[in-house]
Amino acid sequence: MAWFESFRVTPPWWQAQGKIVASSRARFVRNLEGKKFPERMESEEKKEVFREIFVSLKDTVAEFKEVEINTVLKKDFFTERHILNSESNVGSVLYTDHAEEETYLINDRDHLRFQVTMPGDALREVFSVARQRIRTMEGEYNFSYSDTFGYLTSSLTNTGTGFRLSVLMFIPGIFLARETEKILALLVKAPIVLRGFFGGRSEIKGNYIQISTKFTLGVGIEDSLRMLDEVVKALVETEKKSRDILIASARVELEDRVARSLAILESARIMSYDESLEHLSILKFAAQLGFEGVPDEKVLNRLIFWSSPVHLSSLENFEVKDSELDFKRAEFLRKWVRGEDGN
């Protein structure tokens, strides 16, 4: 079976409906004492680190899906699945459970990275799971640690606790009501960083933003949780107020925009990924607001997920040419939006 066939499902954590906070994630990175960082290691050194880590992980990941990230295609595929990010490297080994909530990554930028992702506003839940995994692993490995700086990592922003929290938020109301300056006003008050749809240095797309804790040096993990939780709550309230403003003062304009997006998706013969995200997110917004005549939000979540370039190509076993993707995407979206998919 080809590596991608077991990933022909939409991860359950992506299917949260009616949510402003689409998903929550906690992750930590660790490195083995006395070993170089992966980017500086030779092939045999990487194998040695992999064996050392896997010895303790093998029972935990026995039922996990395993993929060697040995091509750019695989890296891009798992970036689109929000498991890797745009700054990840080729040459790592990934283990993920079948719900893709828990993942272990060996020999990426650091020797070991664990992350847990859950649907909706679940910061405290992912925090609890990640902290428990940290405690367990710290009893099994001799991780690189400095009394002055904390846990040592390949990135200065991760050095310290090596622990990061982040949320993916769907905030079309703020963007459409032109209230984006309120996002910046909230972020400057706390060590929080704004990222794009796929994390790392990716762009903001489809009315989604990702916000995460910024530094791990000198900041306790409980403090990180508290700070991000406060910012998320403030953004959720801002989004709710923006939606109320739009409904009260610009409902006709919003209905017009929804109708136009629906018409384009039902009839277009060529569709870029960015354009598809723009129209699908408008329909998702309409579904959350209870508008009639738009596809179910679960369907729209699936379309947002599978219209991304590498996932769209994977549906045809990567046999579609890059020059054909925009045609395939338009065809794929037409069928689903029209209800011709057979489901």
| Angle, helix 297-306 to helix 273-289, in steps of 10 degrees | 160
What are the C-alpha distances in Å from 302 to residues 2, 231, 234? Answer: 22, 28, 28
Kindly report the CA angle at 239 between 235 and 241, in degrees rounded to 5? 115
Q: Is the pLDDT of residue 343 over 50?
A: no
- Residue whose structure tokens are 């290691």: 41
Average pLDDT, rounded, for the chain: 91
Q: What is the pLDDT of residue 200?
A: 72
The per-residue pLDDT for range 121-173, each reduced to its tens digit, is 999 999 999 989 988 888 888 999 998 888 899 988 788 888 899 999 999 99
- What is the rounded distance in angstroms from the CA atom of residue 328 to the CA atom of residue 86? 24
Hey, where are the domains in the chain? 5-243, 251-338
Q: What is the pLDDT of residue 218?
A: 60
Global pTM reads 0.92
Q: Which CATH architecture has domain 5-243?
A: 2-Layer Sandwich (3.30)
Among 133-147, 210-224, 262-276, which stretch is predicted with the lowest mean pLDDT?
210-224
What are the C-alpha distances in Å from 70 to residues 3, 29, 92, 108, 230? Answer: 12, 20, 7, 11, 39
Percent of the chain at pLDDT exceeding 90:
71
Q: What is the pLDDT of residue 23?
A: 95
What would the mean pLDDT of 180-199 be, rounded to a whole number?
78
| Angle, helix 273-289 to helix 325-338, in steps of 10 degrees | 20
The per-residue pLDDT for range 294-313, each reduced to its tens digit, is 999 999 999 999 999 999 99
